[in-house]
């Protein structure tokens, strides 16, 4: 695993955005670098960025970073900032990845929850959930947070303390450093598991014992079974007796039911007979009359159809008669409308077409004449509008009187003038000459104003220079006077100070007592309490008071002198600068005057340029006014005749329009004429059609009526013989086939229902007679009482049987539970055997047994790896565990002294550092397992090394870096180390509690 880039913003005291790229210069050439800076500048913050981006944790806080933790501790986000992030790019076996931690403050000022992201080398997100990022980083790198901090960021202080502590404390410290607390938890878990299984098995055994005390004895079981058998015999006898009694009671019930049913059937039989009689009186008569007409039924239906057909024809004839009357009315209405349109009264039908055509031709001639005048009007309007545009007049609002008035005004304008023809080219040329003259004068005026402003500005600066010189003359004597006073005052203060010193040398014991203050040490005995000091003589030191006053006066006058000297110096500088500026302005002013005189010899810069410009503008305006009036005069000469002709054409067109409107009343000539012609043709056609249709219908009606009368005469003889009043009466008595069928079915059903009721009643009477003979010798009340008593006895017997059954059931439950518990105990006994063995080997309540064993193995492996590093560091020492009779701390084997064993507590600070460094590197190897660590950060401890040991240590680290191609960062403020390592990340405090980062190398 290798750190490639670190990018962060506003983390702790490192305000702003910072980037450290280990793949670029100078880190690409030198893999050994130093992180330097004063204490508290933020060196460790760089190390915080890495685990923060990877695991959402930092070493200085115990738990994972959350919003509440940041608010509580004021951690991570730089004070006063609204956003922070930590981004780390790293390489591992599975590729290159970038992980990011981010937090911001919302617009309302509340801190939001942090976010985490993880991307592959192409910037594609690996996971969308921030909670999954730490676990995913752990999976990719192969190290959890504890392993990462122990194998990548090595703190010397932990290992220095580890070397010297006693065995008990060393075990706890090793557990903390290596993160092997799991062995303690495993020992505790084995103990708790065995204890829990043992308790469960004991509970089962106690339950079996308790259940056995509740079981019935064999004698009790035999007694219950005998009683149960007797009760079952009694129950059988009572059940049979109860069935017989219930059968008798059921027979009584059936007797009563059948008696009621016979009564009900008698009523229904009587009602059915009455319904049949009523049917014969009402519907039966209809069937008789219908059957009489069967012989000529078809002729009756034919007679009725022909009758209805004739009635239909008569209705249609009446309708067509109304249509004919309506068509005649529309003809008269159309004639009246044509008379009103063409203004000719009493027109005949034959005259209608000619009158409409003649009227149309007359009005059409008027309209053609009006259209010609309208075309001429448009031509004249276009010509007039073109001329009016020259006069800047709109056609719509311009009247002939306005034009005549305008002509009068122009004649008055030219009356005193000699009219001279001017071409547009001459007009524009003269206008351009006047405009150029105005622009030239304006340009000269601008240059003149610049000269005047320069003169005014220079005059103001000369006045200021004069005032400053006067101020300078005022300050000089004041400064001389103040300097003389300070010389004398300084001598006076020194004299007073010498007197005070002489007096201090001559102090008595009483004088010292007078100076004592509570809670401050006595200069003679050192005590901070002075119970007798308040009894000292009162002392007023006028000399001290005078010294302070004179010294204060000296300081005040020194400040005053400093201020005056500062003002004097500032004034001199200002005067020099202003003199130089005035001189430069004078030269520039002379240059401007020379240029002005050269370019504008006929003017002076104080000339009245406003008047000159005003005269030129007036001349330009007069010239433009003359040309404009001349153009308007020409336009009016053309437009006035045209306008008079236009008025005449307009009036003639209006007269024609009035004649047409009076003739047509504003209606469209063509549409109205076409409408009336079409309406006249339709009215004539509708009348002809109505007359023809009416004649056709009358002929058909007459033919059908003749046939109907023949059929009616034939039927009259037949119906009178059968007793019918008329053909209509016979037809009315004729029933529909469906009605006949329905009436016959009703009659048949009523007869069948009556016969069925009669049969059902007879059958039920026979059953009732049999049941009545059976019940003659039985009493219903006695049977009911006997059944009640038998049922009560049976219920009591069943209660006793249930109690016996419950006792036997409970006995079975107890026996089954005992059997199951014994099986469970056998299984648990077999299962607990393994946990008992495991508990005896590694288990105890504190987990100490297995933890001590695991820590001994871990320590042996750690010391083995550390000794391999000591070989690389060329140390004279080897590390080993203490023997029984030795000190509890680790032992060092001194190879230069014949492998003498000595406690690490006897080693110097530099030697201790070398051993702790070897332990740190060994732990890095131990924690990484099969993960190759290509980036290391070593923190603390270099300040304890003498130059020789430090130099040797640096040689070793450089060799280690070269051999393994590791990126090694050393955090320190040791000057020699800074000189030895050229590649540095320098943390510089900027004085406001914040720091900046600079990479050098």
SS3 label, residue 879? strand
For residue range 259-312, list pLDDT tens digits in order.
888 888 888 888 888 887 777 777 766 676 776 777 677 777 778 787 888 788
- Residue 946 is predicted with a pLDDT of 66
Chain-centroid distance of CA 725 in Å reads 96
Residue that the structure tokens 């069925």 belong to: 756
Find all residues with CB under 8 Å of 525, minimum gap 6, and list them. none
**Most confident of the following: 195-204, 630-639, 658-667:** 195-204
Which H or E run contains 989?
strand 984-989
Mean pLDDT to the nearest integer, 381-393:
71
Output the six-digit token pair for 435.
């405009």
Mean pLDDT to the nearest integer, 331-337:
78
Mean pLDDT to the nearest integer, 583-610:
75
Q: What is the average pLDDT score of the chain? A: 78
Output the six-digit token pair for 824.
């469970």
Find all residues with CB under 8 Å of 518, minimum gap 6, and list them. 528, 529, 530, 533
- Residue 56 is predicted with a pLDDT of 93
What does each C-alpha distance from 505 to 493, 499, 501, 546 come to in angstroms? 19, 10, 6, 19
For residue range 135-178, list pLDDT tens digits in order.
999 889 888 887 787 777 766 556 666 666 676 666 665 665 56
For residue range 240-259, list pLDDT tens digits in order.
777 776 777 677 777 778 78
Peptide bond into 26 cis (omega under 30): yes
pLDDT exceeds cutoff 70 at 527:
no
Does this chain's domain 2-164+930-1000 share its CATH topology with 424-511+540-603?
no
Q: Give the other-Cβ count within 10 Å of 970's Cβ.
A: 24
Least confident segment among 377-386, 507-516, 799-808, 912-921: 507-516
Structural contact between residues 381 and 647, judged by C-beta atoms closer than 8 angstroms: no
For residue range 21-38, list pLDDT tens digits in order.
988 888 888 878 888 888
What does each C-alpha distance from 791 to 246, 531, 797, 959 come to in angstroms? 10, 113, 10, 109
Strand ranges (E), 48-142: 83-92, 95-104, 115-120
More confident: 318 or 510: 318
State the DSSP string of 183-220.
HHHHHHHHHHHHHHHHHHHHHHHHHHHHHHHHSPPHHH
For residue range 947-966, list pLDDT tens digits in order.
766 776 777 677 666 666 67
- Residue 537 is predicted with a pLDDT of 38
pLDDT exceeds cutoff 90 at 117:
yes
pTM for this model (two decimals): 0.39
Please report, rounded to a whole number, the percentage of residues in the chain having pLDDT higher than 70: 82
Alpha carbon distance 137, 142 (integer Å)? 8
Which H or E run contains 892?
strand 891-894
Domains of the chain by residue range? 2-164+930-1000, 298-342+678-730, 424-511+540-603
- Residue 416 is predicted with a pLDDT of 65
For residue range 203-231, list pLDDT tens digits in order.
888 888 888 887 777 787 787 777 777 77
For residue range 489-514, list pLDDT tens digits in order.
888 888 887 888 777 666 555 555 66
For residue range 647-657, list pLDDT tens digits in order.
777 777 778 77
Please report, rounded to a whole number, the percentage of residues in the chain having pLDDT higher than 90: 6
- Residue 89 is predicted with a pLDDT of 96
SS3 label, residue 564? helix
- Residue 119 is predicted with a pLDDT of 93
pLDDT exceeds cutoff 80 at 818:
yes
For residue range 921-931, list pLDDT tens digits in order.
777 777 655 56
- Residue 524 is predicted with a pLDDT of 53
Find all residues with CB under 8 Å of 688, minimum gap 6, and list them. none
Q: Which long-range contacts (CB under 8 A, 24 or more apart) does 243-252 make?
A: 245/783, 245/786, 245/787, 245/790, 246/787, 248/778, 248/783, 249/780, 249/783, 249/784, 249/787, 251/771, 251/774, 251/775, 252/775, 252/778, 252/780, 252/783
The architecture of the domain spanning 424-511+540-603 is: Orthogonal Bundle (1.10)
Strand ranges (E), 165-291: none
Alpha carbon distance 441, 444 (integer Å)? 5
Mean pLDDT to the nearest integer, 877-889:
79
Torsion angle, CA of 176/180/184/186, rounded to 10 degrees?
A: 150
Structural contact between residues 790 and 242, judged by C-beta atoms closer than 8 angstroms: yes
For residue range 892-940, list pLDDT tens digits in order.
888 888 888 888 788 776 777 777 778 777 777 776 555 677 888 887 5
Find all residues with CB under 8 Å of 85, minimum gap 6, and list them. 7, 8, 9, 10, 100, 101, 102, 103
- Residue 690 is predicted with a pLDDT of 83
Q: 999: number of CA atoms within 13 Å, CB side?
A: 15
Alpha carbon distance 123, 976 (integer Å)? 42
Output the six-digit token pair for 466.
């004069």
pLDDT exceeds cutoff 50 at 750:
yes
**Most confident of the following: 10-19, 216-225, 268-277, 381-390:** 10-19
More confident: 108 or 6: 6
- Residue 132 is predicted with a pLDDT of 92
For residue range 550-595, list pLDDT tens digits in order.
888 888 888 888 788 888 888 888 888 888 888 888 888 788 777 7
Strand ranges (E), 24-114: 32-37, 83-92, 95-104
Q: Would you place residue 526 in the very low, low, confident or very high pLDDT band (cuts 50, 70, 90)?
A: low
- Which CATH class for the 2-164+930-1000 domain? alpha beta
Mean pLDDT to the nearest integer, 418-447:
74
For residue range 90-115, list pLDDT tens digits in order.
998 889 999 999 999 888 878 899 99
Q: Across the strands, what pairs with 100? A: 87, 117
Alpha carbon distance 950, 419 (integer Å)? 114
Q: Would you place residue 86 in the very low, low, confident or very high pLDDT band (cuts 50, 70, 90)?
A: very high
pLDDT exceeds cutoff 70 at 529:
no
Mean pLDDT to the nearest integer, 836-854:
82
- Residue 136 is predicted with a pLDDT of 94
């Amino acid at each position: 695993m290798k750190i490639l880039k670190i990018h962060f913003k506003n983390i702790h005291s490192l305000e702003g955005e910072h980037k450290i790229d280990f793949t670029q210069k100078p880190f690409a050439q030198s893999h050994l670098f130093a992180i330097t800076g004063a204490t508290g500048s933020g060196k460790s913050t760089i190390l915080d960025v890495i685990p923060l981006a990877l695991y959402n944790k930092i070493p200085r806080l115990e738990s994972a970073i959350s919003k509440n933790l940041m608010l509580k501790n004021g951690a991570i986000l730089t004070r006063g900032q609204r956003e922070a992030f930590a981004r780390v790019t790293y390489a591992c076996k599975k590729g290159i990845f970038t992980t990011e931690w981010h937090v911001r403050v919302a617009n309302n000022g509340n801190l939001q929850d942090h976010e985490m992201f993880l991307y592959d080398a192409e910037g594609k997100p690996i996971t969308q959930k921030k909670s999954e990022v730490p676990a995913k980083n752990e999976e990719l790198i192969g190290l959890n947070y504890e392993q990462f901090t122990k194998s990548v960021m090595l703190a010397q202080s932990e290992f220095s303390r580890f070397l010297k502590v006693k065995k008990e404390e060393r075990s706890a410290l090793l557990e903390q450093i290596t993160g092997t607390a799991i062995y303690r938890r495993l020992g505790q878990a084995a103990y708790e598991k065995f204890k829990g299984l043992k308790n469960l098995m004991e509970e089962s055994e106690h339950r079996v014992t308790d259940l056995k005390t509740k079981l019935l004895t064999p004698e009790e079981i035999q007694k219950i079974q005998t009683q149960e058998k007797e009760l079952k015999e009694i129950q059988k006898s009572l059940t049979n007796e109860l069935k017989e009694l219930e059968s008798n009671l059921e027979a009584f019930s059936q007797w009563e039911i059948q008696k009621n049913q016979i009564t009900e059937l008698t009523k229904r039989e009587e009602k059915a007979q009455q319904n049949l009689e009523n049917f014969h009186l009402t519907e039966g008569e209809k069937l008789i009359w219908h059957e009489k007409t069967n012989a000529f039924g078809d002729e009756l239906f034919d007679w009725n159809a022909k009758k209805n057909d004739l009635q239909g024809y008569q209705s249609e004839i009446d309708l067509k008669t109304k249509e004919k009357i309506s068509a005649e009315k529309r003809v008269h209405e159309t004639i009246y409308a044509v008379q009103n349109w063409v203004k000719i009264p009493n027109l005949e039908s034959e005259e209608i077409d000619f009158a409409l055509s003649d009227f149309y031709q007359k009005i059409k001639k008027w309209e053609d004449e009006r259209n010609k005048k309208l075309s001429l009007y448009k031509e004249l309007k276009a010509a007039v509008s073109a001329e009016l545009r020259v006069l800047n007049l709109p056609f719509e609002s311009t009247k002939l009187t306005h034009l005549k008035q305008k002509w009068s005004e122009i004649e008055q304008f030219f009356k005193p003038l000699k009219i001279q023809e001017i071409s547009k080219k001459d007009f524009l040329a003269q206008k351009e000459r006047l405009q150029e003259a105005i622009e030239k004068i304006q340009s000269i005026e601008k240059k003149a104003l610049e000269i005047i402003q320069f003169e005014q500005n220079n005059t103001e600066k000369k006045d200021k220079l004069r005032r400053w010189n006067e101020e300078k003359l005022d300050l000089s004597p004041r400064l001389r006077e103040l300097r003389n006073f300070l010389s004398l005052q300084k001598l006076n203060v020194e004299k007073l100070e010498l007197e005070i010193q002489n007096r201090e040398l001559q102090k008595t014991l009483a004088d010292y007592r007078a100076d004592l203050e509570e809670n401050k040490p006595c200069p003679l005995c050192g005590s901070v309490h002075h119970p007798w000091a308040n009894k000292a003589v009162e002392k007023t030191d006028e000399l001290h008071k005078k010294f302070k006053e004179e010294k204060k006066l000296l300081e005040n006058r020194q400040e005053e002198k400093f201020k005056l000297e500062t003002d004097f110096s500032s004034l001199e500088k200002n005067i020099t600068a202003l003199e130089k500026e005035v001189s430069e302005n004078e030269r520039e002013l002379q240059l401007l005057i020379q240029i002005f005189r050269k370019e504008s010899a006929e003017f002076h810069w104080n000339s009245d340029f406003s008047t000159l410009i005003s005269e030129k503008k007036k001349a330009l305006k007069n010239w433009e006014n003359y040309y404009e009036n001349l153009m308007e005069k020409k336009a009016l000469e053309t437009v006035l005749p045209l306008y008079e002709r236009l008025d005449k054409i307009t009036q003639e067109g209006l007269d024609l329009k009035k004649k047409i409107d009076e003739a047509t009343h504003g209606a469209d000539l063509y549409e109205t004429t076409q409408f009336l012609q079409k309406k006249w043709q339709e009215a004539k056609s509708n009348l002809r059609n109505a007359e023809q249709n009416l004649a056709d219908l009358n002929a058909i009606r007459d033919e059908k009526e003749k046939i109907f009368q023949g059929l009616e005469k034939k039927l009259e003889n037949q119906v009178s013989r059968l007793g019918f009043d008329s053909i209509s009466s016979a037809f009315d008595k004729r029933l529909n086939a469906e009605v006949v069928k329905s009436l016959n079915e009703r009659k048949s059903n009523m007869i069948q229902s009556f016969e069925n009721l009669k049969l059902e009643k007879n059958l039920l009477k026979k059953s009732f007679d049999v049941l009545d003979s059976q019940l003659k010798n039985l009493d219903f009340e006695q049977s009911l009482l006997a059944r009640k008593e038998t049922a009560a006895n049976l219920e009591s017997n069943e209660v006793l049987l249930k109690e016996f059954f419950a006792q036997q059931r409970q006995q079975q439950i107890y026996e089954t539970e005992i059997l199951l518990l014994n099986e469970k105990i056998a299984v648990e006994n077999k299962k607990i055997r393994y946990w008992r063995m495991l508990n005896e080997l590694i288990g105890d309540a504190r987990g100490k047994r297995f933890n001590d064993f695991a820590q001994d193995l871990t320590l042996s492996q750690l010391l083995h790896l550390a000794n391999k590093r000591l070989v690389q560091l060329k140390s004279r020492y080897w590390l080993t565990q203490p023997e029984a009779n030795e000190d509890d701390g680790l032992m060092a084997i001194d190879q230069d002294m014949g492998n003498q064993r000595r406690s690490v507590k006897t080693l110097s600070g530099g030697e201790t550092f070398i051993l702790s460094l070897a332990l740190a590197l060994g732990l890095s190897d131990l924690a990484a397992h099969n993960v190759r660590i290509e980036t290391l950060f070593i923190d603390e401890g270099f300040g304890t090394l003498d130059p020789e040991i430090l130099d040797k240590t640096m040689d070793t680290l450089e060799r280690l870096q070269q051999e393994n191609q590791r990126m090694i960062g050393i955090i320190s403020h040791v000057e020699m180390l800074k000189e030895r390592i050229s590649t540095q990340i320098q943390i510089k405090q900027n004085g406001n509690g914040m720091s900046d980062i600079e990479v050098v190398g």
